[in-house]
Structure 1
Amino acid sequence: MSRKPVVALVGRPNVGKSTLFNRLTKSRDAIVADYPGLTRDRQYGTGKVGKYPYIVVDTGGLSGEEAGVNPLMEQQVIAALEEADVILFLVDGQAGLTPADEQIAAMLRQKFAHKPIYVLVNKAEGRDPDVVKAEFYQLGLGEPLVISAEHGDHVREAIDYILEIVAPKADEDEAPEPDDDSGIRVAVVGRPNVGKSTLINRMIGEERVVAYDMPGTTRDSIRVPFERDGVKYTLIDTAGVRRRKKVYDKIEKFSVIKAIEAMDQAHVVVLVIDGSEGITDQDQTLLGHALESGRGLIIAINKWDNLDPDQRRQVKADLDLKLQFADFAPRHFISALHGTGVGNLFDMIRQVYKAATTRVSTSELNRVLQQALLEHQPPMVSGRRIKMRYAHLGGINPPTVVIHGNMVDRVPQHYTRYLTNVFRKAFGWEGTPVKIEYRVTDNPFEGKRTKLSERQIRRKRKLMAFVKQKKKALQRKKRGK
C-alpha cells in the first residue's frame, strides 16, 4: 500500500499558509485572519486538491529573527519539516522579498537541503507572474511557483507539478501491503495513556504490547495478528497522539502521521477515549481524521469502572453534545484493565466490518431510492425539480452510492443527509460512514439544433409569410386611422 507523501507548509507569519491549507484540504480547519502568528500548533489534514493523495501539515509562522522566535513555535515548525517529504516555502508576492524570507531560506538550505523545497509566491492575483516571482529567484531554491491561495489561482497546477515528482519517491518507501490472510484489520487509535495497549493485551489475552502508565510508551505502529472464535484479526496499535506543543522526542513526532496511515490500512477503527478525562479537543480532531479515512468506526470509552453514576451521566451527555457529527458510530463502554465489556467489542467489530464491506445490488438500491423520493421529494432549484434517475454502488468500506440524474450537483446538504439516513437504515450500514456521490446525466441534445424535414421547412416558410402579411395589414390600418 503506497504511503501518502507528507507536505509541510512553512513561511513567515501572515503569508497565507493557513489559507492554502484550507484550500488544499477543502476545509476550514485552520483559523484564518489578517493577524500574524495566529497558527501556533501543527495542523494536519488530508489533501484533496491534485491527482495524488497526500497529507498536509500547516505550521506556525517563523519571523526569521533568532532572538524573537517563540521556542515552542520554532520547535513545532522544525518537527513538521523533519517529518515532511516535501517542503513548500510560502512568500508574500505583494510585500515582496524580505530579510525574514532570506533568513528562513538560509535555514532551509542548511538543515533540509536533502529534501525537495519549492518556493510558492502567494497573493499574486491579478498581477504578471513573471514580474511577481522575479525577485524570489535570489533565494536560491529553484524556480518560484506563483499562486493565489485565497482565490485558488494556479494552486492545482502547482500541487500536481510538485506531487508528480514527490509521489513516486514516497512510493519507494511505501508501507507494507496488508496480507490478504490478515483477516479483519483493526486500528486502535487515541491520545497517549488512554489505554490502547492495555486494551489490545486484554483482547488477545496476553502481554504482546508494552503497556506502562506513562504517555508515549508505544513509539510506533505495532501489528498483532491473532485468531478468536475462528475469525482472524490484525490489531494495529498506534503511538498516542499527544498535544503537539508537548512533543519533544523525535520518535513521537510521527504519531499523527502514523495514526492516519494506520486508519487508511484498517477495515475498522476503534477510537479509545479516556472516560475519566471526558471528551477533549484532540479526541474530536482524531475522530475527524477517522471520518476522513472512511473506515468503519467504533468509539470505545475506557476506564468506565472508575466513574461514579453522576460522572457517567456527564460523560454520556458530553458524547451526545460533542460527537454529533459521528452519531452513526456505536459507543462501547469498557474497562481495558479489568476486561469489562471487552469481549462484546469483538461482536461490534464483526458487525461494523460486515456493514462496511457488504455489497448491495443495483435493483435494491434503486428500490430504496425511489421509495425515498416518493416519501420526500427533492427541493425545487431555480423553479425546477431535481430529478434523480437511478443509483448504483460505487464502492465499499465506506459504502458509496452514486446517484445519476438532472441537476443533482445542486442537491442541498440537508437532502443528502436525509438520503444517507434512508440508505443506512435500509441496508444496516451501522458504524460506517456512507458517501453519496452525484453524477449529472449528460443532455444528448445539448448544443445540437433540430434538423427540419422538407415538409416542416415549407410549413415554416408559409407561417413566416403569413405573419409578415398580418404585420403589414396592421401597419396600413394604423396609417389609415
Structure 2
Amino acid sequence: MSKPIVAVVGRPNVGKSTLVNRLAVNRDAIVHESRGVTRDRSYHTTDWNGREFVLIDTGGIESAKSKDVFAPRIREQALAACDEADAIIFVVDGTVGVTDEDEEVARVVRKSGKPVFLVVNKIDDPARELESWNYYSLGVGEPRPISAGHGHGTGDLLDEVVAVLPDEEDEEGPADDALNVAIIGRPNVGKSSLANRLTKRNRSIVSDVAGTTRDAIDSIIEWKGTRIRLVDTAGMRKKNLVHEDVEYYSLVRGLEAMDRADVCILVVDASVGVTEQDQKLVGMAVDRGCALVVALNKWDLVTTEKQRDDVAATLAQRLSFAPWAPSVNMSALTGRATDKILEAAVKAAANHACQLKTSQLNALLTQIREGGHTVTDKGRRLKVHYGVQTGQRPPVLTFWCNAPDLVDDNYERFMENRLRQAFDLTGTPVRLKFRLREEGRR
C-alpha cells in the first residue's frame, strides 16, 4: 500500500473504533459498548490538510492470561498492524486511569520502534485537568487528552501524526481500478479461510466459532494482472436469528459490501449443501445486480457418490433462478481449486461489464422471429422489432416491440435463455426491458 499507515491500538473498550470513525470522518468501524467487538484489523483511508494516509483499526490487546478464546489471535492481528504501520496511536481510557492491560500494550508499542502517540480518550470536558504524571509511567511519551466521541483534541493529534509520516510512494496503479469481490455466506462456512488462502496471509481471524468475523475486511491482491479488492464479510444469518446489536451491525456491513461489489463469491459448506439462507443471499446479490460465483467449500469432506449427488441436487433446487452462476468444488483448508475461484470471478466480472454488439443482438432477434416463438392473446401478437444494450454491470438489454404488456415471465425466460446461448454471459445476471415502439415511427 503506497499511502502511509497509522495503527490505532489499545486494550479493549477504550474507544479505538470511535476514534477511527472520527478521524476517517465516517462510521465504517463497528462501535459498541461490549468488549472485544473489533477482532480483525480493518483499513480506513482518510486525509488531513491534504495529506492522505490509512488508519488501521485493531482489536483490543488483552493480557496473555485472558480467557477470551480470540485473545491470542486478536493480539496477532494488532501486532501485525504495528509492524505494518509508520506510526502508532496508543489509546487509553481517561475515566479509569492506567491499568495492567494498558501497561501490556505499552510494552508492545515500545518494542515496535515506531513513533507512538499516547492519547487519553473520553476526556469529554476540555477544561478538565489531566493527571499527566499517571500516564507518563507507560513510558511512551507525552499523554494527549482527547474525546473521540466529541472530537476535542483530534485536530491537534492529526497535526502531530501527519508531521512524522513518510512521503507517499508512487502508486503502482489507480486504486479505483480494482475489481470489487465480496466473499459472502452463512456463518462458519469458511469465508475467512478462503480470504486468507487467496491473499496468502492471515488477514482474517479463523476459528470454529460461528460469527468470528464482524467487520467487512478489505484486502488488495493481484491475480494475473488484475487488481482485486477482496472483502471478507461477516456470516449472514436469518434476520429473526440476529439478536445481538454487534451482529446486526455486521449484517449491515456485509450488505454494504454487496452493494459495492462487482462480483459476489457465495461460500457454501459442501458437507451441508445449499441451504435456504444461501438461497436468500444469492437473491440479495442478484437483486443488487452483482455477478456471482458459488464456492462449494470443504469439498474434501464430500467423500461418497451419494454426498456429491446430494450437493448437486441442493444446488440445482435452491439456485434454480440463477443457473448461470458457475460453481467450483474447492477446499480453503487444503488450497484445492482456490485459483479456479479467482478465474471464475474475473470471467464473471468481464461478462458483467460486457457490451454486446447491436448488429449481433438484432441478428439473434431475426432468428427468433423466423422461429415463430412469440406471445398471442385475443388476436394480438407480440412482435419484437429490434433491441440494443442500454446498460452494463449488469447488462441491460432494451427491446422495442408493438405490445410490451404481452410479455410474460415465460417469454422473458425464453429470451434470456436464447441470449445466453448466443452470448457468453456466464456468471452475470441480465436485465431485460420491453418498450413500446409506435407504428409509423423509426
TM class by smaller structure: 0.5 to 0.7
The Cα shift of 1:284 comes to 1.1
2:320 is the alignment partner of 1:324: yes
Contact 1:302-1:333 at 8 Å conserved across structures: yes
Q: Which residue of 2 is the match for residue 112 of structure 1?
A: none
Contact 1:387-1:408 at 8 Å conserved across structures: no
After superposition, give the CA deviation of every residue in 1:122-157 in whole Å (9 maximum; x if it has no partner): xxxxxxxxxxxxxxxxxxxxxxxxxxxxxxxxxxxx
Comparing both structures, which one devotes a greater share of its residues to helix? 1
Amino acid corresponding to residue 383 of structure 1 in structure 2: G
Counterpart secondary structure, 1:248? coil
Distance in 2 between residues matched to 1:329 and 1:255, nearest whole Å: 26
Q: Which residue of 2 is the match for residue 308 of structure 1?
A: 303
Q: Which residue of the other structure, out of 257, 276, 280, is the alignment partner of 1:285?
A: 280
Distance in 1 between residues matched to 2:291 and 2:325, nearest whole Å: 8
Distance in 2 between residues matched to 1:363 and 1:221, nearest whole Å: 43
The Cα shift of 1:394 comes to 1.3
Contact 1:392-1:401 at 8 Å conserved across structures: yes
Contact 2:376-2:406 at 8 Å conserved across structures: no
Q: Which residue of 1 is the match for residue 233 of structure 2?
A: 238
Q: Which residue of the other structure, out of 374, 386, 400, is the alignment partner of 2:370?
A: 374
Distance in 1 between residues matched to 2:268 and 2:203, nearest whole Å: 21
Going from structure 1 to structure 2, the CA distance change for 1:207 and 1:364 (only over 3 Å counts) comes to same
Going from structure 1 to structure 2, the CA distance change for 1:435 and 1:211 (only over 3 Å counts) comes to same
After superposition, give the CA deviation of every residue in 1:41-68 in whole Å (9 maximum; x if it has no partner): xxxxxxxxxxxxxxxxxxxxxxxxxxxx
The Cα shift of 1:317 comes to 1.6
The more displaced of 337-346 and 316-325 is: 316-325
The Cα shift of 1:425 comes to 1.8
2:354 is the alignment partner of 1:358: yes
Q: Which residue of 1 is the match for residue 121 of structure 2?
A: none
The size of the alignment, in residue pairs, is 268
Structure 1 portions without partners, runs of 5+: 4-178, 446-481
After superposition, give the CA deviation of every residue in 1:388-432 in whole Å (9 maximum; x if it has no partner): 111110111111110011102321211111110111121201111
Amino acid corresponding to residue 213 of structure 1 in structure 2: D
Distance in 2 between residues matched to 1:385 and 1:243, nearest whole Å: 44
Q: Which residue of 1 is the match for residue 336 of structure 2?
A: 340
Q: Which residue of the other structure, out of 404, 409, 423, is the alignment partner of 1:408?
A: 404
CA RMSD, aligned part only?
Answer: 1.9
Select the structure of larger CA radius of gyration. Answer: 1
Q: Which residue of the other structure, out of 193, 197, 200, is the alignment partner of 1:202?
A: 197
The Cα shift of 1:214 comes to 1.0
Amino acid corresponding to residue 297 of structure 2 in structure 1: N
Q: Which residue of the other structure, out of 394, 397, 404, is the alignment partner of 1:398?
A: 394
Q: Which residue of 2 is the match for residue 423 of structure 1?
A: 419
Q: Which residue of the other structure, out of 186, 195, 209, is the alignment partner of 1:191?
A: 186
Q: Which residue of 1 is the match for residue 290 of structure 2?
A: 295
Structure 2 portions without partners, runs of 5+: 1-25, 27-173
Distance in 1 between residues matched to 2:333 and 2:293, nearest whole Å: 19
Contact 2:375-2:406 at 8 Å conserved across structures: no
Amino acid corresponding to residue 424 of structure 2 in structure 1: G
Contact 2:185-2:278 at 8 Å conserved across structures: yes
The Cα shift of 1:382 comes to 2.1
The more displaced of 195-204 and 376-385 is: 376-385
Q: Percent identity?
A: 37
Going from structure 1 to structure 2, the CA distance change for 1:408 and 1:245 (only over 3 Å counts) comes to closer
The Cα shift of 1:244 comes to 3.4
